[in-house]
Chains A and B, each alone.
Chain A
Amino acid sequence: MSTPALVALVAIALVGIVSAVIGSIGVRIARSTSDFLVASRTVGSVANASAISGEYLSAASFLGIAGLILREGADALWYPIAFVAGYLALVLFVAAPLRRSGAYTVPDFAEARLGSPALRRMCTTFVLAIGWLYLLPQLQGAGLALTTLTSLPSWSGVAAASVLVVLTVIGGGMRSITFVQAFQYWLKLTALIVPAIVVLGLFMSDARSFDRPAPPNFPHDTTVQVRTDVVLEVTATVRFEAAGEIDDQPAHGRVTWEPGQHEVAAKTTLTFAAGSAVPTVVGAPTTDRAWLEPMSGDAPDQLLEIYSILVAGFLGTMGMPHVLVRFYTNPDGRAARRTTVVVLAMIGFFYMLVTFVGALSRLYTPELLVSGQTDAAVLLVPTAALGNGWTGWLLGGLVAAGAAAAFLATSSGLVVSLAGVLFTDLLRGRLRDFRLAALVASIVPLPVALSVTRLDFALTVPLVFAVAASTFCPLLVLGIWWRGLTAPGAIAGLLVGGGLSGIAVAITMFAVLPSGWLGVLLYRPAAITVPAAFLTMVVVSKLTRAEIPPGVDGTLLRLHAPERLGLTHDRLDREA
């Protein structure tokens, strides 16, 4: 194994160990069930905000966004905006009332608000579905990081990540998770700031510009290993060495590509000389200038895609189970709001850095455009920019640690929230069962993560957000603000929103998408499914007006009245 790989492995292992240590220190403080589940609701604003940010900034953020920007350019800027704007929606509509509801999970909230066990069961199902769906890319991302940085097989990364997650969660529950995730946020930030500063320095001294009508160039002689079949687009004549299969024919030795599209089969090796133009994956902007400008593709479809992403991010964040569960650890509704504002600042700054590193990675790691593994951009930039040497390796190690933190934070947060739902709904019981629930929550997605081919983060993550936006967002927003919501209405809305977005997910993952607006709507379904879910909830609730729960006024009042009036009750405490 090479030295950089060893450095990266050591860094990843360190992150795991430190997380476990912090978790086990936290466990000494955690004594009661309440400690376990919601950190006894005494976590301070900044610590809580760090934890929320640490949990939220997943592999998709750390690696996926940078990769998207490397490939798509200005059009990819909308992804991080959507993910950050989601917290604005949280502040506006959900944060304080949700905290004041005193409920611990979304199903709990649904039952407290609408008093329907059927609805509760349905919410439980959706929480589990969304959580597991979101765990998939996290685990696979751990595999990607390990394969990219070391030569280990990707299953080992997936398995190691699961084991670590289970250990931290079982060790300390939410309390230790809070500290672990707060630590992981700052680690991720460091792992991004340092390379960003270094790369910025290099960029300044280079005085290179993106504003050229040509494709990017390879900075060095570069060998690209193509791992999956890929179609490349060439705008200028390229000459390179190839070993493998190109355009369905075996190719060995010198190859010359004229402008056009070329198919490269998996396991082909391409060797480019320094300075030659970079072929790009089809669909992405080919020249630097096109990359730099927004709306590079077909305008109406692209507009639809951008709006759909915005809707999914803006409304989907509040529906993510691991985000929601975090709000119950705030002391009161006002603190929940303030925490969210701090989160806005924290993740906003983080995404600024990600954008920056992603843009510069086009200069230093253009070979990723050929192999299609753009998600690895952040991981490879340090070594690519600094060359082979200890500085580059150490920096690479730092980034690897940050990436590991990203996977661990999101996965453990997801596992905690899933375990919380399993624990309170399916396995009603004591502490021991919470550990069992955590184990179940993390084991279920493992086989799928190991067997299914990894999809781009850019594809999977917004899909999961779209599902969350079309199910829990209408439930929460209408449940909090509209007294007319009824249980049948909520169930119908969940079915419509969840059903439509679920179909879209299935088709995207297992079938070839049609082109045009229909294809866009299938892999970015939020623009249709969210309004449909809202509409269904409102219409069905209006039709079943008799079903409005009798205590609705009191419930709504508790959600909105400030704590000092003494109206709020914690459901968890009350049950205890």
Chain B
Amino acid sequence: MTTFTDGVPPLVTPEPGDGPAPSGHGVAQGDKPPHHAETSAEHCDNDDADDGMDTGSGWLRDEIQRRIAAGHSGTGGRHARRESVDSSTSLGYVPRHSVATPGPGAPRPGPVGGPVGLRPTGLLRRERTGAEGPFLPIAPAAWSRPARPDTAGTAPPSVDADPPDTPPAPPAPDLRAEAALEHPVPPAPDLRADAAPEYPVPPAPVLPVTAPPAYPLRGAVPTALVGTVPPIGSVSVPALSGDPLFTARTPAPGSRERGSSLAVPEQRGVDEPHGGPESQDDVESRRVRVVLAERKGVARPVRTVVDIQEGTGVGELLRRNLIGSQLAVALRFAVGAGLTLGVLPLLFAMFPELGRMEVLGLRLPWLLLGVLVYPFLFGLGLWHARTAERVEQNFADHVQD
């Protein structure tokens, strides 16, 4: 679900008079900047506990449904080329309830920056948010990305960063447990990457553009969210905390995750219809600024992506896994083709009678070497392309989760 460019956390920060968002969140956030996990979980719990105002989850449900719908009708889904992905999910997205911005049906602005400069933008953003601190004074800049409320994509790492000392708020445990039930065995990333080449690769089309991949993690998350509407943090915790790689080796996430995972629900809560109509106008007027302000940043890699780029332990492992499994796949196909083709001349040399056999009115060598070998090579190529795509896709899914 929250796939591609989800790396960009919505840097929405509440302003003082920003609707009913409880100020306690801000406090929690400000108090313990390093413990995002804690705060984020807590904050989610708070949301639920707070005066029966189911804002966070309600928003989330809507948002996820919207995203699923967008994914289904979108331009190409997870395999779409980078540009189209960006434009369909992030650039073109206009916040709901926004009056001043063009409606969702309005023509999308073209990618301003183009696919170039993804990384610089990411870096730029990181340092800025780091400098700015989690909230308040920099609201306009932080607003710039309402297009990516991908809390599910960004929250996990931060939530996960510090599980032990997370004091679960009263209502939280059951939700968390429930979510955990959804994923009895969270698949470990390296396993997935390894298993990829083993897939039998049926001739069926590789993962339809619209549907999420079939393995449990991704499939389960949306269901859980839509069905039970747990707060964001608790949903993603089990998925990742079961993953030894993430718990053990991942360094504390950068400052930018912090602001996002914390702030989003509040913001969205404000955005919710139940969330106090009087505040809505404020939000919207600010939104306009947001959308126009920084659209050119196309995508920023999620933290895991940064991990593999920067060669941390996790990244190194992931990279080796990807290259290793791709090489294994390629070599397997090459050996298969080489053996098949290489044995034939030897056979014809050792058993000349083979060359005199007639099959279907043709001499065997002519039938094999003049006709059948080409469909064989084509089939191998097709099979390999699909296998390799699947390996890549698993890697990317995994990295972006």
**Does any Cβ of A come within 8 Å of B377's Cβ?**
yes
Q: Is the CB of A77 within 8 A of B333?
A: no
Produce 1/0 per residue, A353-365, CB < 8 A to B: 0011001000000
A355 to B363, CA, bound (A): 14
**Does any Cβ of A come within 8 Å of B82's Cβ?**
yes
Q: Is the CB of B374 within 8 A of A349?
A: yes
Q: Which residues of B contact A299 (CB under 8 A)?
A: 349
Q: Is the CB of A303 within 8 A of B346?
A: yes
A487 to B300, CA, bound (A): 33
A126 to B348, CA, bound (A): 37
User: Contacts A92-B330, A334-B79, A566-B119 given: A352-B374 contact, CB under 8 Å?
Assistant: yes
User: Contacts A91-B385, A352-B374, A554-B309 given: A562-B392 contact, CB under 8 Å?
Assistant: yes
Of the 9-residue stretches A110-118, A338-346, A451-459, A535-543, which lies at the interface with chain B? A338-346
Produce 1/0 per residue, B201-217, CB < 8 A to A: 00000000000000000
Q: Is the CB of B365 within 8 A of A92?
A: no
Q: Which residues of B contact A428 (CB under 8 A)?
A: none
User: Contacts A293-B355, A293-B356, A332-B82 given: A91-B384 contact, CB under 8 Å?
Assistant: yes
A87 to B334, CA, bound (A): 11
Q: Is the CB of A565 within 8 A of B301?
A: yes
Chain B nearest CB, measured from A407 CB (Å)? 24
Q: Is the CB of A331 within 8 A of B365?
A: no
Of the 9-residue stretches A173-181, A368-376, A395-403, A568-576, which lies at the interface with chain B? A568-576
Produce 1/0 per residue, A552-574, CB < 8 A to B: 01101100111111110110011
Of the 9-residue stretches B45-53, B237-245, B252-260, B320-328, which lies at the interface with chain A? B320-328
Q: Which residues of A contact B85 (CB under 8 A)?
A: 564
**Does any Cβ of B come within 8 Å of A514's Cβ?**
no
**Does any Cβ of A come within 8 Å of B381's Cβ?**
yes
> Which B321-368 residues have a C-beta within 8 angstroms of A?
322-323, 326-327, 330, 333-334, 337-338, 341-342, 345-346, 348-349, 352, 355-356, 363, 365-366
Of the 9-residue stretches B35-43, B65-73, B268-276, B393-401, which lies at the interface with chain A? B393-401
Q: Which residues of B contact A352 (CB under 8 A)?
A: 370-371, 374
A554 to B308, CA, bound (A): 8
Q: Is the CB of B305 within 8 A of A565?
A: yes
Q: Which residues of B contact A344 (CB under 8 A)?
A: 377-378, 381-382
Q: Which residues of B contact A557 (CB under 8 A)?
A: 308-309, 319, 322
Chain A nearest CB, measured from B258 CB (Å)? 21
Q: Is the CB of B349 within 8 A of A295?
A: yes
Q: Which of B330, B366, B381, B393 contacts A562 (CB 8 A)?
A: B393
Chain A nearest CB, measured from B325 CB (Å)? 10
> Which B102-124 residues have a C-beta within 8 angstroms of A?
116, 118-119, 122
**Does any Cβ of A come within 8 Å of B369's Cβ?**
yes
**Does any Cβ of B come within 8 Å of A93's Cβ?**
yes
A553 to B320, CA, bound (A): 9
Chain A nearest CB, measured from B2 CB (Å)? 13
Q: Is the CB of A355 within 8 A of B341?
A: no
Q: Which residues of B contact A335 (CB under 8 A)?
A: 81
Chain B nearest CB, measured from A142 CB (Å)? 28
Q: Is the CB of B381 within 8 A of A88?
A: yes
Q: Which of A74, A81, A345, A560 contacts B378 (CB 8 A)?
A: A345
**Does any Cβ of A come within 8 Å of B373's Cβ?**
yes
A553 to B377, CA, bound (A): 32
A553 to B314, CA, bound (A): 13
**Does any Cβ of A come within 8 Å of B148's Cβ?**
no
Q: Is the CB of A567 within 8 A of B366?
A: no
**Does any Cβ of B come within 8 Å of A306's Cβ?**
yes
A108 to B36, CA, bound (A): 44
Dominant secondary structure of chain B at its interface with chain A: helix
Q: Which residues of A contact B342 (CB under 8 A)?
A: 307, 310
A87 to B322, CA, bound (A): 23
Q: Which residues of B contact A203 (CB under 8 A)?
A: none
Chain B nearest CB, measured from A80 CB (Å)? 8
Q: Is the CB of B377 within 8 A of A337?
A: no
User: Contacts A295-B355, A307-B345, A349-B374 given: A331-B385 contact, CB under 8 Å?
Assistant: no
Q: Is the CB of A574 within 8 A of B116?
A: yes
Q: Is the CB of B396 within 8 A of A561?
A: yes
A335 to B76, CA, bound (A): 14
Chain A nearest CB, measured from B368 CB (Å)? 9
Q: Is the CB of A560 within 8 A of B322?
A: yes
Q: Which residues of B contact A355 (CB under 8 A)?
A: 370
**Does any Cβ of B come within 8 Å of A257's Cβ?**
no
A454 to B78, CA, bound (A): 53
> Which A300-318 residues have a C-beta within 8 angstroms of B?
302-303, 306-307, 310, 314
A310 to B79, CA, bound (A): 35
User: Contacts A331-B81, A341-B385, A554-B309 given: A565-B396 contact, CB under 8 Å?
Assistant: yes
**Does any Cβ of A come within 8 Å of B4's Cβ?**
yes
**Does any Cβ of B come within 8 Å of A128's Cβ?**
no
Closest-by-CB residue of B relative to A338 is B385
A481 to B326, CA, bound (A): 9
**Does any Cβ of B come within 8 Å of A231's Cβ?**
no
A295 to B350, CA, bound (A): 10
Produce 1/0 per residue, A67-105, CB < 8 A to B: 000000010011001001101110111001000000000
Q: Is the CB of B316 within 8 A of A293?
A: no
Q: Is the CB of A74 within 8 A of B366?
A: yes
User: Contacts A85-B341, A93-B334, A566-B119 given: A341-B301 contact, CB under 8 Å?
Assistant: no
A337 to B382, CA, bound (A): 9
Name the residue among A293, A302, A566, A573 with the largest chain B CB count within 10 angstroms: A566
Q: Is the CB of B365 within 8 A of A567?
A: no
Name the residue among B82, B85, B366, B395 with the largest chain A CB count within 10 angstroms: B366
A573 to B120, CA, bound (A): 14
Closest-by-CB residue of A relative to B316 is A553
Q: Which residues of A contact B305 (CB under 8 A)?
A: 565-567
A561 to B348, CA, bound (A): 43
Q: Which residues of B contact A563 (CB under 8 A)?
A: 81-82
A356 to B370, CA, bound (A): 8
**Does any Cβ of A come within 8 Å of B389's Cβ?**
yes
A89 to B333, CA, bound (A): 9
A570 to B333, CA, bound (A): 29
Closest-by-CB residue of A relative to B3 is A564
Q: Is the CB of B82 within 8 A of A348?
A: no
Q: Is the CB of B396 within 8 A of A564?
A: yes
**Does any Cβ of B come within 8 Å of A224's Cβ?**
no
Q: Which of B118, B346, B388, B395 contacts A96 (CB 8 A)?
A: B388
A67 to B348, CA, bound (A): 22
Chain A nearest CB, measured from B375 CB (Å)? 7
Q: Is the CB of A295 within 8 A of B79?
A: no
**Does any Cβ of B come within 8 Å of A292's Cβ?**
yes
Q: Which residues of A contact B7 (CB under 8 A)?
A: 566
User: Contacts A340-B381, A560-B322, A569-B116 given: A303-B345 contact, CB under 8 Å?
Assistant: yes
**Does any Cβ of A come within 8 Å of B173's Cβ?**
no
**Does any Cβ of A come within 8 Å of B299's Cβ?**
yes
Interface pairs A-B: 10 shortest CB-CB: A348-B374, A77-B369, A294-B348, A92-B330, A566-B118, A293-B355, A562-B392, A341-B381, A344-B381, A355-B370
A sample of 10 inter-chain contacts (CB < 8 A) reads A91-B381, A293-B356, A303-B346, A307-B342, A340-B385, A359-B366, A481-B327, A562-B393, A563-B81, A567-B119
Besides A74-B369, A92-B330, 7 other A-B contacts (C-beta < 8 A):
A81-B373, A91-B381, A294-B349, A307-B345, A334-B389, A337-B388, A348-B377
Listed in ascending order, the chain B residues whose CB lies under 8 Å from chain A are 3-5, 7, 78-79, 81-82, 85, 116, 118-119, 122, 298-301, 305, 308-309, 311, 316, 319, 322-323, 326-327, 330, 333-334, 337-338, 341-342, 345-346, 348-349, 352, 355-356, 363, 365-366, 369-371, 373-375, 377-378, 380-382, 384-385, 388-389, 392-393, 395-396, 399-400
Listed in ascending order, the chain A residues whose CB lies under 8 Å from chain B are 74, 77-78, 81, 84-85, 87-89, 91-93, 96, 292-295, 299, 302-303, 306-307, 310, 314, 331-332, 334-335, 337-338, 340-341, 344-345, 348-349, 351-352, 355-356, 359, 481, 553-554, 556-557, 560-567, 569-570, 573-574
